[in-house]
Amino acid sequence: MTNNIIELQVEGMDCNNCAMSITRFLERKGLKDVYVNFQTKEVRFQPNEEVMSLEEVKSGIHKLGYTVVEEEKPQAWWTLERKLIISAIFTAPLLIGHILMSLGVHIGLMHNNWLQLLLCLPVFIIGLLHFGKSAWNGLVQTGVANMDVLIFIGSTAAFIYSLIGTIQNEPNYIFYETAATIITLVLLGNWFEHRAVKQTTSAIGELTKLQVEKARRIMPSGTVVTINRDEIKVGDILQVNEGDKIPTDGMIESGHAAVDESMMTGESVPIEKVKGDPVVGASIVDSGNIQMRVTAIGKDTVLSKMIELVKTAQQDKPDIQRLADKISAIFVPAVLGIALLTVLVGHFAFDLTFQKALMNAIAVLVISCPCAMGLATPTAVMVGVGRLAKNGILVKGGTTVEVFSNIKNIVFDKTGTLTTGEFKVQHIDYHTDNPAFVNALIYKMEQHSSHPIAQSLVKEMVSRVNGVELGSIKVEEQKGIGVFAQDDEGNRYHIGAKPGTTDLEHQTIQLTQNDQLLATVEISDELKPEALVMM
């Protein structure tokens, strides 16, 4: 995909055939690299003014029955949820009355055909407006019969059939509950699908939230000015202080800092960064401050590439989705043909009454309406990719997810990245006869540090203090060295990593008193082999 790809946000797509309608429309006009995703509401294509202008593209999509979102607008009141709620309220008495009747329980009021018509009418109007427009525009603009065509025809056939029965006062013709239930159940299915996609694509939202909105640029005069993210340029010198998020990718020009890159690597321990070291946008300066030169902005940053990877992962479709796309493309015409054949064969070949043959055809339309394969297959891929991203696992696309189904065993080559993200105390060796004093001392000193290792020690020692009280003690943290303390008697204490420790996931912490070893703490955040789930 080239860099000059146009991306539009389009509302109104409900299933894979909706996406295919837009895809075929744009491809028939001559546009290249067309990619439409109904779950993320994205339409992408390579612009070509000679073939079709951007305004013509938007106009064409609008004529198909979909809306190009030009800017963020407040959510409309007439949402899918409200349509579903209103439809369910009117459908419930119809459906419950029908079920009770089939069980031999008769409610006289619910046998009133005109009352059933009044209950069904609001639901039918909602379905007519929700599904009818998309069905009609799909047929007129592209000649593609999408899933809304089946929903519209099935519900309309049942409603009109029932209306004729009401006028003729023929109870055997009344199927208002069928028309209302078709619309309500499909709306419910759409709501479930939208809810699943919304929860899944929150992974993209969480990544996007990591982006920094403001930055401090150092001007040639030395003045520091605050600028917006989109004003940052490659080559700018930015000031980043302790506690700040790094605005974008860059290289440290001066200063020293411990940078928390867990959003990228998952590592619990901040990485020490000095002049000449690269830094990644959205990572956090845990301690220290730096001046950095910007090396990448916008879509060229590591974070933006991560977001793009998640958003476009579905372009690499697994075999099952390719099959679903092919079948769903001919599914609607095939079902309509089968329904018509059901009427003709049933009436003329098997001597069924026209009423019975027509009801059998309506049953064909009703059963096929939701199209589980055309809707569920791409949604399942989207949910899989999104859930993986939400848990910090990025994949190239749907094919990778499909490969997972054939995995029997997983072998991890431990290279320092398979971690839990949270340190836990594995073992403590006491070199004194008073372990309770050591526990209280560790707890007291590490409370003054925000380092992940210090916080894990505080969490562990809170249950080991056992009421031991320490006298007055002065505590001071020195970044990168450890925590120092001194009591009223002049005893000097130090707690920090054992010199020479290079394994970030497994640390040995030493506590000394006047340079004499009091305790050694083994602490780790790596996964143990027995914790790995073997597939």
CB atoms within 10 A of CB 406: 7
Q: Which residues of 338-361 are buried (b: 16+ CB within 10 A; e: fewer)?
A: ebeebbeebbeeeebeeeebbbbb
Terminal Cα-to-Cα distance of the chain (whole angstroms):
35
The answer to whether 281 touches 295, Cβ cutoff 8 Å, is: no
**Whole-angstrom Cα distance, residue 470 to residue 27?**
76
The answer to whether residues 292 and 238 touch, using CB atoms and an 8 Å cutoff, is yes
- Range in 227-236, 284-293, 447-456 with the lowest mean pLDDT: 447-456
pLDDT at 247: 92
pLDDT > 80? residue 325: no
Distances (CA, A) of 142 to 24, 27, 60, 136, 146: 7, 11, 10, 10, 10
Lowest-pLDDT choice from 194-203, 419-428, 523-532: 523-532
3-class secondary structure, 117? helix
The CA dihedral of 352, 354, 355, 359, to the nearest 10 degrees, is 80
Q: At what angle do helices 147-167 and 319-344 cross, to 10 degrees?
A: 30
CA atoms in the 13 A half-sphere facing the CB of 153: 26
pLDDT digits (tens, 9 = 90+) for 280-306: 998 888 878 899 999 999 888 988 887
- Give buried/exposed letters for 268-301 (b at 16+ CB in 10 A, else e): bbbbebeeeeebbbbbbbbbbebbbebebbeeeb
Q: Which of 222, 237, 208, 245 is nearest to 295 (CA)?
A: 237
> Of how many residues is the chain composed?
535
List, for residues 154-213, the tens digit of each pLDDT value: 888 889 888 988 998 887 778 888 889 888 988 887 787 677 666 555 666 666 777 888
Looking at 37-175, list the stretches that DSSP marks H as alpha helix, in order from N- to C-terminal side.
Answer: 54-63, 80-102, 113-142, 147-167
Overall average pLDDT of the 337-350 stretch:
92
For residue 464, pLDDT beyond 50: yes
Partners of 248 in the β-ladder: none
Catalytic residue numbers? 413
Q: Which residue has the tokens 């305004």?
A: 55
The enclosing H or E element of 399 equals helix 398-404
Listed range (81-90, 194-203, 293-302, 352-361) with the worst mean pLDDT: 194-203
Take residue 13 and report the two structure tokens written for it.
């797509």
> Which of the given ranges, 15-19, 407-411, 472-476, has the highest pLDDT on average?
472-476
pLDDT band at 249 (very low <50, low <70, confident <90, very high): very high
Q: What is the pLDDT of residue 348?
A: 92
Question: Is pTM beyond 0.75 here?
Answer: no
| Predicted confidence (pLDDT) at residue 125 exceeds the cutoff of 90 | yes
